């Protein structure tokens, strides 16, 4: 089954924010040390978005729906354009960027029962991981995804922290300005 690329050239994608009880989130180190990001992956043509979520959860970090509780999702697709040097041409429809539905998951089992496993695909996305504070991924992700990370984390914060989200770090405003310029 092929990836779903819409008429505007955006590849449909699911993004996963996995949270543990203390509010920290899972951040994966891209294979070969190429930065850090949340798990994400393409939605196949005709595949329900929630099915893609659990397929990607299994493929990227080795967890199943039994390991997590679905806490929330973004209300709509969030889009980013790829810089020209990342646009692949000549293989099927041209993909100019991604549109993403983001899902907030919380671990539903004790951490001692969790084993992150990146070997469920021939080309693993991650070769390392860490827990980090809720806002830190904005600073860690590649520059062209930062605006989506800001929007998504801000939208999901009330669902993640019903009693009030943690304060933004000191660097928050400067990162927002830098992301807006990118």
Fold of domain 10-132 = Nucleoside Triphosphate Pyrophosphohydrolase (3.90.79)
pLDDT tens-digit map of 51-64: 999 999 999 999 99
Q: What is the maximum alpha-carbon separation in the chain? A: 49
Task: State the average pLDDT for the chain.
Answer: 92
* Residue 175 pLDDT: 75
pLDDT tens-digit map of 92-111: 778 889 999 999 999 999 99
| 182/41: higher pLDDT | 41
């Amino acid at each position: 089954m092929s990836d779903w690329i819409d008429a505007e050239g955006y590849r449909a994608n699911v993004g996963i924010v996995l949270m543990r009880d203390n509010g920290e989130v899972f951040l994966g180190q891209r294979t070969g040390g190429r930065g850090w990001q949340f798990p994400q992956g393409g939605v196949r043509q005709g595949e329900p978005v929630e099915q893609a979520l659990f397929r990607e959860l299994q493929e990227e970090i080795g967890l199943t729906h039994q390991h997590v509780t679905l806490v929330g999702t973004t209300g709509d697709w969030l889009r980013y354009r790829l810089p020209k040097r990342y646009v692949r041409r000549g293989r099927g429809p041209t993909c100019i960027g991604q549109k993403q539905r983001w899902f907030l998951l919380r671990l539903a089992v004790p951490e001692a029962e969790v084993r992150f496993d990146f070997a469920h695909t021939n080309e693993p996305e991650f070769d390392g991981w860490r827990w980090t504070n809720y806002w830190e991924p904005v600073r860690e992700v590649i520059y062209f995804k930062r605006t989506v990370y800001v929007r998504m984390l801000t939208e999901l914060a009330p669902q993640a922290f019903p009693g009030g989200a943690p304060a933004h770090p000191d660097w928050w405003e400067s990162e927002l300005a830098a992301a807006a310029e990118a």
